[in-house]
Amino acid sequence: MYAFEPSEEQKMLIDAINRYAANDLRAAAHEAEESGELPPKLIEKGWELGVLQASIPEAYGGFGERSAVTGVLAAEEMAWGDLAGAMAVFTPHLFALPILLTGSEAQKQEYLPAIVEGEWRPYTAAMIEPFFDFDPQALRTTAEERDGGYVLNGIKIWVPFAAQAPAMIVYASLNGQTQGFIVPAGTAGLEISSEREKLMGLNALPFYRLTLKDVFIPKTQRLGEEAGHAMEPILAAQWVAQAAMAVGVARAAFEYSRDYAKEREAFGVKIAQKQAIAFMLAEMATEIEAIRLLNWEAAWKIDTGKEDAWQQAYLAAVGAMDMAMMVTDRAVQILGGHGYIRDHPVELWMRNGRGFAMFTGLMMV
Amino acid sequence: MIEFDPPKPILQQQYVLKTVAENMMRPVSRYFDEHEHEIPYDYIQFMHQAMRATGAGSLAPSEEKKPEGEKEKRPPIGYQMLAHMLEMLAWGDVGMYLVTPGGGLGAAAVQAAGTPEQRQKFLARFAGEKPTFAAMCMTEPHAGSDTAAIRTTAVLDPQTNEWVINGQKIFVTAGDKSLTPREEFGKGFIVVWATIDPGAGRAGMRAFVVEMGTPGVKVVKLEKKMGIRASDTAAIVLDNVRVPFDHILGSPTVEKETEKGFKRAMLTFDATRPLVAATGVGVARAALEFLKEKLAENGIQIRYGLPRQKLTNIEREVIDMEIMLRSAWLMVIKAVWMADNRMPNALASSISKVKAGDVVTRITQRAVELLGPLGYSREYLLEKWFRDAKITDIYEGTGQINRLIVARQILGYTGAELR
């Protein structure tokens, strides 16, 4: 059957996240962006909502089962509050979910309970590389088989919380295939930049650059161990998260500019009463809904094991890039000069909106 | 729950309809495009018999209601089935789909605004022996999107208790098949929108059923169109047309404050907009499938999963089309799912029409360009789909009218606040 209404349980989760997103994330977003710091208490409070914990089975310390549909609902709501905050809360997903989806039994036992039973700790992942044509499936960072293990070489950028991470997954090309490797903090040859990376947006998130020089990884630390792992489930989980967060940011920008347009007067009427503005808003709402549904279906395909799930997840992520750019740009446009001033959040959302084209690997549900 | 499995009966129906589209429509698509105003009797007869046998797609009232105890608990899927059906038939040929018997928009108006007695009286005919048509007459030469500006009048003659209708209607889809007697077809009707109080604006607007054979009504012109040429588009003149009192749909008195009559009319559109959107999606799918097939024949495979920077322009175009097409379809499904579950769907309905209108014009226009001379040639159907597609963004509310409705919904504005 077709059905377009979240379950009661999902609705309760969305409500809880919405309160946190509105009262905590949104309230802190401006200050966090300007100062470059997210208060640890803020992240911890988001972590306690238990999105990841509910995705991990009891056998590994969690209290549920992973559902991509629930994940995209949660990610949209979280990112609606603030993208940087949402990404911070979800950073451990980047480590735990690949292990849950493709790790060996021993790897699940070793890492998952430690992550989900405790307070928020920034287990993270290194995916992005400093090239214009960066492609998660054609990485320049290499892994070579040597001495009963693997040796990693390369450069990774935009690794969230790398300096504080107890462990991270580093993606590298092994014989042309992207594979994940579990790299604990302090591994020899792993160099983390002392300075944080500087981006157009997401100033609140601490990103670091990694240099990997002959980093030796034992076979037991390859994701899925010797057999390795498929990349599709990981990419699909990244793409639907990306699309969901894009929907969340776009929805925030849409709502803010809609409300502004109903307040602001020009030529004796509210500007929302002008078709030039009203039609922009109608198109923004249309595109948000279009990508939301496309992404819901992609997530549902993941949950029901459809073969083309990863393909639709890709379509959703690509569509989300354009949608987020269009919607956030128009939000700034509707506020006019005021939209360009950092007192209003729309310029931040527009900078975030552009980023979705490059955020593959930074979010996962 | 959030789920995307088409219900089983829909899957079975689609299997059959695909055969119809492939065998009854596609092979004669070109012929009827080039022989405008000829009637595809074979298709009409076939569909009529098939729909009679299965009850699919018809608005004719069902026989006897099942006793309470036997009522099935399954959620209703009528509109969902209809949306799937229309998508597949439009994939076959949207012009021919428009001549599917069963009452179309005329019957939909009776269904939405009529009393149970009127439904029985006017809709039962569609389950009869001969294929029968009905049409909706709204547009007039000077009033299209601004439906409240129509000038056709209906005046009650107290002597005979009949309505006397005078006016001129254009762009009536299937108007000819509904009004002009033919041996092959049953007695159809048109639903004419008229004002019972010219000073009352929207509040005075009502719909009237005018049956085939009523003196004073006639088709005066069949339009020659850019596309959907298998479908007749009629201009109709009503000259002192008299219909019985009970042919009015809705209340015979004017309630100035409420605009109830007008709102009723618009209810019809809430129900039918996603269905028209579904036909747009069908045409768009036909065009995209054709494009991919031709590209594959030329050794071009679409690579998924790459960053945009690494895609060729053609790959980028195709991927964008797939995003547009699938999301437009899901918006249609959501709107009809809401209708089936009796949720207010004015927003979902109009938003699906905005999207589908954009998507089908974009996809067909881009596909013709991408295939170069092959796209523009009448050797293939793609150029026809391009011409057929454009109407989706015009009829049943232009893209701009639907944007206006969406905007009012999301802003919480009335028609007076956002003109």
Report the CATH number at residue B95. Answer: 1.10.540.10
The lowest-confidence range among A14-18, B246-250, B306-310, B384-388 is B246-250
Alpha-helix runs per DSSP H in B5-136: 8-20, 26-34, 41-54, 78-97, 104-113, 116-123
Q: Which residue has the higher pLDDT, A247 or B145?
A: A247
Residue B72 pLDDT: 56
Whether A56 is covered by a domain: the verdict is yes
Residue B81 pLDDT: 93
The answer to whether the CB atoms of A3 and B403 lie below 8 A apart is no
Q: Which of B5, B324, B410 sits opposite A281 (nearest CB)?
A: B410
Residue A250 CB-half CA count within 13 A: 31
Q: Which domain holds residue B95?
A: 8-64+73-122
State chain A's maximal CA–CA distance in angstroms: 77
Residue A28 pLDDT: 97
Q: What share of chain A is helix, strand, coil (3-state, %, to 5)?
A: 55, 15, 30
Q: Which of B2, B304, B355 sits opposite A300 (nearest CB)?
A: B2
Whether A3 is covered by a domain: the verdict is no
Whether B1 is covered by a domain: the verdict is no
Q: How far is A193 from chain B (nearest CA, A)?
A: 26
The answer to whether the CB atoms of B323 and A294 lie below 8 A apart is yes
Whether A49 is covered by a domain: the verdict is yes
Q: At what angle do helices A232-263 and A309-335 cross, to 10 degrees?
A: 20
pLDDT at residue B256 tops 80: no
Do B342 and B207 lie in one domain? The reply is no
Do B225 and B286 lie in one domain? The reply is no
**CATH number, position A307:** 1.20.140.10
Q: Which of A69, A278, A315 sits opposite B418 (nearest CB)?
A: A278
Q: What is the DSSP string of B186-228?
A: ---EEEEEEES-GGGGGGGEEEEEEETT-TTEEEEEE---SS-
pLDDT at residue A16 tops 70: yes
Whether A2 is covered by a domain: the verdict is no
The answer to whether the CB atoms of A282 and B331 lie below 8 A apart is no
Residue B147 pLDDT: 81
Q: What is the mean pLDDT of residues B277-303?
A: 97
Do A140 and A191 lie in one domain? The reply is yes
Query: Total structural domains in chain B?
Result: 3
Do A236 and A334 lie in one domain? The reply is yes
The answer to whether the CB atoms of A282 and B7 lie below 8 A apart is no
A208 pairs with which residues across the strands?
Answer: A159
Give the DSSP H/E element, type plus range, for residue B248: strand B248-249
Residue B270 pLDDT: 76
d(CA A152, CA A142): 6
Interface of B with A in 170-209 (CB under 8 A): none
Do A219 and A244 lie in one domain? The reply is no
pLDDT (tens digit per residue) in A47-85: 999 999 999 999 999 999 999 999 999 999 999 999 999
Query: Total structural domains in chain A?
Result: 3
Whether A1 is covered by a domain: the verdict is no
Do B188 and B104 lie in one domain? The reply is no
Q: Which residues of B are catalytic?
A: 396
Three-class DSSP category at B113: helix
Do A223 and A236 lie in one domain? The reply is no
What lies within 8 Å, CB to CB, of B349 at 6+ separation is B269, B270, B271, B273, B274, B335, B338, B339
Q: How confident is the model at residue B66 (pLDDT cuts 50, 70, 90)?
A: very low
Evaluated on CA atoms B113, B116, B121, B127, the torsion sign reads positive
Q: Judge contact between B3 and A1, C-beta under 8 A.
A: yes
Residue B143 pLDDT: 87
Q: Give B406: exposed, middle or buried? Use CB within 10 Å, 0-12, 13-18, 19+.
A: buried
Q: Does B292 touch chain A (CB under 8 A)?
A: no
Residue A156 pLDDT: 98
Q: Does B310 touch chain A (CB under 8 A)?
A: yes
- Collect all residues of chain A within an 8 Å Cβ-Cβ radius of residue B308: 318, 321, 357
Q: What is the mean pLDDT of residues A118-134?
A: 97
Q: What is the mean pLDDT of residues A161-185?
A: 98
> Of A187, A207, A227, which marks where a domain is finished?
A227
Q: Which domain holds residue A157?
A: 124-227
Q: Which pTM was predicted?
A: 0.94
Q: What is the mean pLDDT of residues B49-57?
A: 79
pLDDT (tens digit per residue) in B307-341: 999 999 999 999 999 999 999 999 999 999 999 99
Q: Give B339: exposed, middle or buried? Use CB within 10 Å, 0-12, 13-18, 19+.
A: buried
Whether A363 is covered by a domain: the verdict is no
The dihedrals phi and psi of A190, each to the nearest 5 degrees, come to -90, 115
**CATH number, position B282:** 1.20.140.10
- Collect all residues of chain B within an 8 Å Cβ-Cβ radius of residue A319: 320, 323-324, 327
> Of B256, B288, B312, which marks where a domain is finished?
B256
Do A199 and A179 lie in one domain? The reply is yes
The residue among B4, B315, B334, B362 with the most chain A CBs within 10 A of its CB, best to mutate, is: B4
pLDDT (tens digit per residue) in A243-277: 999 999 999 999 999 999 999 999 999 999 999 99
Whether B368 is covered by a domain: the verdict is yes
Which chain A residue shows the shortest CA-CA distance from B316?
A: A318
Which chain B residue shows the shortest CA-CA distance from A257?
A: B411
Q: At what angle do helices B26-34 and B382-390 cross, to 10 degrees?
A: 70
Dig out the tokens for A342 from the structure: 């950092």
**CATH number, position A24:** 1.10.540.10
